[in-house]
Amino acid sequence: MPQIAVVGAGPAGCLAAKQLAAAGRDVTVIEEHQTAGRPAHCAGIVTAETIRMAGFRPDILGTVCAADVVFPDGRRISVERRNPIAYVIDRPALDCRLADQAAEYGAQFLYDERYISSVITPREVRVQTVRGILTADLLIGADGQCSRVAASLRDNAAREYLYGMQVDVLKEPADPYRMVLRLGRELAPGFFSWELPLGDRVRVGLCVTPQYGPPAPYLKKLLTQTGLNSSRVVARYVGKIPMGGRRITHGERTLLIGDAAGQVKPVSGGGLYPIFTAAPLLCRTIDRAYEMSDFSTTVLSLYDRAWKQALGKEFDRGWQLRKLFRRLDDRGLNRAGAMMDTPEIREILDTVDLDRPSDLAKPVLAQKGIKSKLLRLVVSARL
């Protein structure tokens, strides 16, 4: 009997398995696909800090030193840096590398095995998979955006889901270090689109909120508008992002991590930095539970407290910003763009840390007259 059953061999499951196995725990990972990291859905944008936390250099496909934010009226606000703002990594390769490292520490991977349900008893958790039953002390739900483990904790849906789609097209980027983010209901209603430089390719994608329909027609429009529609598509990805967090991230003998826990940055939809932050906190809580031989919600709530202390401020502020952003139609976005387009605010935007984008809110709001203008904008926003 393994001590810990982990559902999902994405980055959250593989990283948790690696850290737990490295600490001497007996870990089994249950993954419904035949390998880790597939099917891919992520754009792969991470900061240098996330790479540092990974502890190894992932395969880097692109380096971003400049970012343009394009408003619906064509206004472009650019951030330029000497040092990279972000990197685009090979996400499937990252997941596989983490899985290999976990296996090297002794974690066992059951591929092609789907988690169905679990039953918690006073002595163990019984995990039902398509092939049989596995018993463990603890269950970790790292099964992504549609997590069944999270659903087993009841009334636990994410507050909002975004639908994403992207393609890699064979074309040299106009600027090999620049990413372009576009806002507006025409191209990416409810979120934004991205255009990332990947050497001899460009990765183009977007997310939309479901009320505006599926993302495919928007992507088609985006490819036409950016002149990339005649380039050969060499990869296609689809995926969902849970936004706004989940209410519950632990239960009796159960812990959640990654998308399963709703640990996604509300401004950018990025989930990798939160995973690298949460995994050591999850392992520390599990150590404590073993020390006390107690896998109850009382002890496991330490994890909840710890990850919310580390990430909660950014998540809460980011969610407030997201709610404001969603209220703005194209006219509102254009007016917000015009407000931001001053030398003083551009200077503030230049300092953006993609892991903590909401840190910009305070200095921006401290600019003379901005708070009242934004307030008027939000109040007058058409829904």
Ligand X SMILES: Cc1cc2nc3c(=O)[nH]c(=O)nc-3n(C[C@H](O)[C@H](O)[C@H](O)COP(=O)(O)OP(=O)(O)OC[C@H]3O[C@@H](n4cnc5c(N)ncnc54)[C@H](O)[C@@H]3O)c2cc1C
Q: Per rule CB under 6 A, is residue 259 in the interface with ligand X?
A: yes
Token pair 């792969």: residue: 44
Q: Per rule CB under 6 A, is residue 31 in the interface with ligand X?
A: yes
When the beta carbons of 51 and 289 are compared against ligand X, the nearer one is 51
How would DSSP label each residue in 65-123?
SEEEEE-TTS-EEEEE-SS-SEEEE-HHHHHHHHHHHHHHTT-EEE-S--EEEEEE-SS
How would DSSP label each residue in 297-339?
HHHHHHHHHHHHHHHHHHHHHHHHHHHHHHH--HHHHHHHHHH
- Give the strands of the sheet with 4-7, arranged side by side: 108-110, 27-30, 4-7, 138-141, 254-256, 250-251
Q: Which stretch binds ligand X (CB under 6 A): 144-152, 177-185, 307-315, 330-338?
A: 144-152
CA 216 to CA 139: how far, in whole Å?
Answer: 36
Among 2, 8, 262, 318, binds ligand X (CB under 6 A): 8
Q: Per rule CB under 6 A, is residue 241 in the interface with ligand X?
A: yes
Q: How many CB atoms lie within 10 A of CB 146?
A: 14
When the beta carbons of 42 and 299 are compared against ligand X, the nearer one is 42
Among 45, 65, 127, 299, binds ligand X (CB under 6 A): 45
Q: Which stretch binds ligand X (CB under 6 A): 62-70, 77-85, 239-247, 335-343?
A: 239-247
Q: Per rule CB under 6 A, is residue 141 in the interface with ligand X?
A: no
When the beta carbons of 279 and 348 are compared against ligand X, the nearer one is 279
Q: How many CB atoms lie within 10 A of CB 382?
A: 8
Q: Per rule CB under 6 A, is residue 269 in the interface with ligand X?
A: yes
Q: Per rule CB under 6 A, is residue 190 in the interface with ligand X?
A: no
Closest Cα partner for 123 from 285, 252, 255, 299? 252
How many residues sit close enough to ligand X to count as binding (CB under 6 A)? Answer: 39
Q: Per rule CB under 6 A, is residue 87 in the interface with ligand X?
A: no
**Side-chain-side CA neighbours of residue 305 (13 Å):** 8
Q: Per rule CB under 6 A, is residue 44 in the interface with ligand X?
A: yes
Token pair 């600490």: residue: 23
When the beta carbons of 17 and 360 are compared against ligand X, the nearer one is 17
- Whole-number minimum distance, CB 60 to ligand X, in Å? 13
Q: Which stretch binds ligand X (CB under 6 A): 18-26, 256-264, 302-310, 343-351?
A: 256-264
Among 75, 81, 126, 148, binds ligand X (CB under 6 A): 148
CA 208 to CA 211: how far, in whole Å?
Answer: 8
Q: Per rule CB under 6 A, is residue 144 in the interface with ligand X?
A: yes
Among 2, 92, 266, 270, binds ligand X (CB under 6 A): 270
CA 259 to CA 256: how far, in whole Å?
Answer: 9
Among 72, 189, 239, 318, binds ligand X (CB under 6 A): 239
- Residue 2 and residue 134 in contact, taking contact as beta carbons nearer than 8 Å: yes
CA 265 to CA 270: how far, in whole Å?
Answer: 5
Among 4, 7, 65, 167, binds ligand X (CB under 6 A): 7
**Side-chain-side CA neighbours of residue 213 (13 Å):** 7
Binders of ligand X among 111-130, rule CB under 6 A?
Answer: 114-115
CA 219 to CA 163: how far, in whole Å?
Answer: 12
Q: Per rule CB under 6 A, is residue 164 in the interface with ligand X?
A: yes
Beta pairing class for 138-141 and 4-7: parallel
Sort 254 into a burial class: Cβ within 10 Å, 0-12 / 13-18 / 19+. buried
Q: Per rule CB under 6 A, is residue 150 in the interface with ligand X?
A: no
Q: Which stretch binds ligand X (CB under 6 A): 225-233, 236-244, 277-285, 310-318?
A: 236-244
Q: Per rule CB under 6 A, is residue 10 in the interface with ligand X?
A: yes
Q: Per rule CB under 6 A, is residue 72 in the interface with ligand X?
A: no
Q: Per rule CB under 6 A, is residue 173 in the interface with ligand X?
A: no
- Helix (H) or strand (E) holding 348, with range, is helix 343-349
Among 33, 185, 284, 288, binds ligand X (CB under 6 A): 33
Which residues here bind ligand X, judged by CB under 6 A?
7-13, 30-33, 41-46, 114-115, 142-145, 148, 164, 166, 205, 239-241, 258-260, 264, 269-272, 275
